[in-house]
Amino acid sequence: MQNKVLGILLAAVAAILLIRASAFTVSEGELAIKSIGGQIVDSEFEPGLHFRIPIIQDVNKFDKRIMTQLYPGERFLTREQEQLNVDFYVKWRINNLRRFYESTGGTEEVANARLGETIKDSIKSVVTQRTLQQVVTADRAEFTGAMMKNARPAAEQLGVELVDVRITKIDLPQQVRESVFERMRASFKAQAAKLRAEGVESSDKIRAEANKQQTQTLADASRQASEIRGEGDASASAVYGKSYSRDAEFYSFFRSMQSYRQSIGKDNDLLVISPDSAYFKYLKQGQAAR
């Protein structure tokens, strides 16, 4: 009886061990491959519980999420053979598990190394077509777009999708940094001098045109003022003549009164004139009447 119970317990333990060895789980963030001797049997596993044949079948799991790899201090040559130290990083994820497993052996380190070489070749092809100044001042979106375009086909051969490639730093080696900066500084100074000269030329043209318009405006205003003044003088002369023709004596008296008001009795004025002068004719007549 005891032997029978012991046999049942051993069978139960063996069954549990067999089930544990046969079962495996795949989470939401994982991909899995079932293989026999390196040959893929199945790679389409939904998240959840699955089974395999112990010992005969192997299961390898891979991260389904986006992977990030940094590549610091890579050296490239520009179109004018200037050296650049470029730091960049790559974001990628597996989009074809079978191809990824067959091309990399299912190793992320191998995938990162091959992707790094692919991106380096892509950056090299972009940098060698540009001068140092064009590389430094280039729009990052355009620069990244050109790299991604060149690298995507090679990445697809690895069974991965390139999510993003970014340049984090562009630097010059110390031995060439000063000479390059001096050339760039000289170039910027030349451009500034050219723009300044064009600005001075444009300013002179605008100022000359403004002076011309000012001269024309003042000449027109002076001419119009002369015409208006002449018309006013002619009108005044006509009024004076009409008044004189009506009563010459009254006109003479009125003009004399205006003259007395403007010339006699003002502070600090000194008038030297003979008492017998005709200027005081109407004053004398007033005294004679009294």
Could you report the per-residue pLDDT of 32-53, keeping only the tens digit for each?
888 887 778 788 888 888 777 7
* Rounded to 5°, angle at Cα 189 from 185 and 195: 145
Amino acid identity for residue 90 in this structure: V
State the number of CA atoms in the 13 A half-sphere of 226 facing the CB.
Answer: 6
User: Can you give the pLDDT at residue 206?
Assistant: 92
Confidence of residue 290 (pLDDT cuts 50, 70, 90): very low
- DSSP assignment letter at 265: S
Give the gyration radius of the chain's Cα atoms: 52
pLDDT reading at 96 higher than 60: yes
- Chain mean pLDDT for the chain: 80
Q: What percent of the chain has pLDDT over 70?
A: 80
CB atoms within 10 A of CB 176: 13
Architecture of domain 67-172: 2-Layer Sandwich (3.30)
Full-model pTM = 0.52
The domain locations on the chain are 2-63, 67-172, 257-289
For residue 236, give both structure tokens. Answer: 């005044």
Q: By mean pLDDT, which of 103-117, 135-149, 154-168 is the weakest?
A: 135-149
All residues at 6 or more sequence positions from 152 whose CB lies less than 8 Å from its CB, including other chains: 162
Could you report the per-residue pLDDT of 228-241, keeping only the tens digit for each?
988 888 887 787 77
